[in-house]
A and B are shown apart, each in its own frame.
Chain A
């Protein structure tokens, strides 16, 4: 195995990307109901909108291990099920369907047409499907277009033809749509530019005269041939097309959206043009032109309209009027276009209108929105603009038209779906002193930016919190008869008594229940048909429905210490270590089993499973003793109370629970024994239903207190509530059916029980101190809780105060007016016409102007105030680019906040009028910032870092050390260390790791005595570094703009030589190698993740977990890299990967290994996302793979889930 690295990491996604590349709508389940399919990164997810509640729930999500570039839904004529076509980077066209019965995607066709990868001439970028589902066109950015004919065979199966070519060399495509041609030949429209002449003309005139053409490609179904039927020039700035309904519904044709106007075009119709209305307002530039960036066409019975969105987020409703003949019948000829302002929603990558009257907005940045239509803007007072007032000729100028933006009138926001995209930076810290650290992120764009706190946990909704007269020790709920739907009593046990509350409209105390109120209670159970039992230390009370009581007293000098019950059986443990067992007999009374079983130690806990359906008893009793063992006793009639098996534990058990739960390994349900220990450890073992053997034990540390376990019901499944220093819930994952253990975002509870009433069907009741709490859990599919704080502008970087729980976020927005300019414009306008309306920027965005920057520093308190507590706006068109907190030795180690800014920056191509470094002093424990001074530098300082009591800044390719002076920063030393631009700095000791914008990383050593910076090792290949983190003194992990993660290590010898005592003369005089430093870094691991890593941390995520590498991606991914400890594990996972890649090849047809090796061969990384696909396989496939690997299915699942749960969620 020459190619294997000696280091291996397990790469796993904790939170999949949330940015939506494309969303489509269709009846994918084959029912009337519409579903939404979204592509985010490599994930394909199907969502079910719930029109009654206005909610959107994910049904199923699958990683396709490829780049999904386009999606389209289509339906064959006469069918009622939509299929999905995926255009990806696999060089293949993929047609899949959603199978609702299995809740899986199923691939129907996979046809190869070209090379894999995202290339200029390989189709996959554009996808258009004939509205009648007869053909689809898949196109590339340049030249290639392939048309596939879709049909069905005699078995009503979908067939796909071989591709028909419609290539045109040296032609760029901007947009492709299918025309609605009714049942005539399918026609596709494309916006094209032919650059062949411009490429031949040295004078540049041909370039200026380049035309943009609207081209119709007609598929002749009879001849099976594609012809270029019609081509006509359109506006040069056109970039988007929309299909206009045809046939009986409308005139057919397309809408051509270009800068500032929209034109209707069709081969047999006149053109109609209408401008895009511009915003009117005090701070708006009346000359700024808008273009359409997203839109949707919606067909209703007999009518249709378009909602088109501009870059400001404004939605415009566009309708087409048709000519009527004398009888009032539509002639199919277009009369005019009409446009008017509709509402404003976040800038979308996709808009979808559901038949049930909802609008789904897949936002480009920040949360996705789900709106309900209140009305369609039919009879409001908005001005409607008509194409009759404007010439259709694109060269004819016209007077711009305006509208006043206003609050939403037509749309009502019903749900927001959390999205971290674009995730720009993150920090992992434990501010709230919980067991596990939190992840802090900055994300979003413009005024919709947020600072978010992410915490592992399930959301809990509290229903009741009420204080009790004294501190209870336990609580139960019980029904009165077996057939009752809801609980009738809440029974509370106190140190010296028992209280019974009845559940009804109100919860109140009841007296005459038959319960013994003068003693504490150990257990309460509804027994048999209609009786109740109460177990207290002195005996068992059997309460019959007519309130008669049968009492079984505990033997003399002994009391009951533990009890377990189900609806037919009772077992109690006496203080002497004896176990007494009762069973309900035919007449409904409890009969004691004539022998008692003497245990070796004191019994601490007992558990009886529920009576299985159709049986008379549960056949096992679990007994936990203080000698740190759990014994399983048989309850079968011939072997009653005989030992079945024993499990030794690390501490005395504090709680036991036998429960039947969904099981991913067998596909059905399995009996589990849950064990809680005094040490706070929780174990789950499989209890064999026949032999009573215990196997497959999984352990998890829950907290510092003894664990208590309770069976509850959540979302229709049996779950285990485990209470330690904080509450946890054990449940089956909604998709994989794998067991999940997640903390609840709730107070620590001492006791819990299931609770079911008319108002709250699936709830829980718990005790916390002196309070009784009733709560429920609504969602099991999301175990990351988010808390967000709005920010002003697009965040760029942030850092934590060295001591205080405060964060400092630098934010800047390009092409946005600064607050000072805005205020001045408002003042002017006020003086002129008194117009001072300011729209809330979080909905409407900021007023824009090219070349302007708005930028600020915000202080965020995520803990107490949960808000931004201070804002410092930057002036003079400066934009903050970097941030650091530096303790200056020269200032008695006082820490200052250092901000790097750029003046008059343009992003593309990069340039600026220099930069500044601002110094701020922390005031009031960091709650306020005091400006000290700023120092001009020649280029924007894109990276700042505290280094040995001084500041080190990356200014262009210069690395410079500064000290703090009275008036400005003082230069101490500098060196050119990288070829292009420094974008990141890390340090340990006297070593600085410098990342270059495109030349990977360079290690620099600072020689204190000589005051020199010497680069001594760099990388052999270019990497467009985005973020880095030092893993140890020699090793740096990093990510690049193309979506790779890598780990580079400096050879030991070179590392030692660099740190040798003395002047470093040998380093300075060492001869450089190939125009770089004398030495090269070694690549340790490399993997392609698709998402662009924006931050990396070496940290722990769970209490007691190992150090892992956590990374966040631009599209909202949170992932991790876990180092492997043993070689055996690596071998196992490598063969598992191999099996999985061959047994369940990626859905979109991309080869898994090639995908992960997109830019460079994957090295030293096991793909955990692929390994976790194992959970989603059918049982047969699971067994087949298990047989190949010579292991059991359970063993494999355990290994996979251990990799995740040991270090993360």
Chain B
């Protein structure tokens, strides 16, 4: 029995006690998998596992408040689950976590770029296969082999959690984390390389492209305010509906600062962005600060208190300026 079949069996065993189990299924074309909500054994048979499972299913968990659900997670997804548990947004008794070792997911933008390089449109994909190392995409009648290491998401290149950090049912043997890859943080490095005024120009340019669709927020598993996001409320009225780069940047600042000490860098905000705006860089920068200041990483320990919800009488790494 393959690992996926074994996983399906475990899910089917648990399903009678659960409202549903969240996972992935084939989407509208072979290149796109989409979320799957398994309520019957037939649903479970649709479950997919592999590099096309880009979505973070943890985002759906808080919507099931009060109901017992299952969720299939990649390592990174599991950190979001941990963070939700830590923040009291889901109840440990009401979630059953299924995990498998993950070798990385693709970055669709990179795959599309490869296809474009080969002269074919991503809209014509007819088949996708992978052997764990290479993804082969057939489009326009020709098959392009892409090493996973080259088309995987940036986060996978530096992933320290290929196995679920928390799981009730884990299928397969845990695998070793990837060695940290410098290139994976190219977005942050690029910003670091800019002068402060250049960074202002950088964001101004990108914010002018922003269509204010809030896909970044809606995909974020930690954006738990949902219908009550302060980006769209009048009480409090943080942002106007003015279509200005300033207001749009302010929204990105709200999102980033609300995630300070909570973001697990699942990258869903940036993946969901239809304009390919590198919004994850803001959160990565904050995470680097949080690590430097508080030696803390979000979504690892369900018992931990996020660093901005606690304090030390004497802070180790904060030095007050003298006047």
The answer to whether A binds B is: no
Which A residues are within 8 Å of any B CB, using their own CB?
A: none
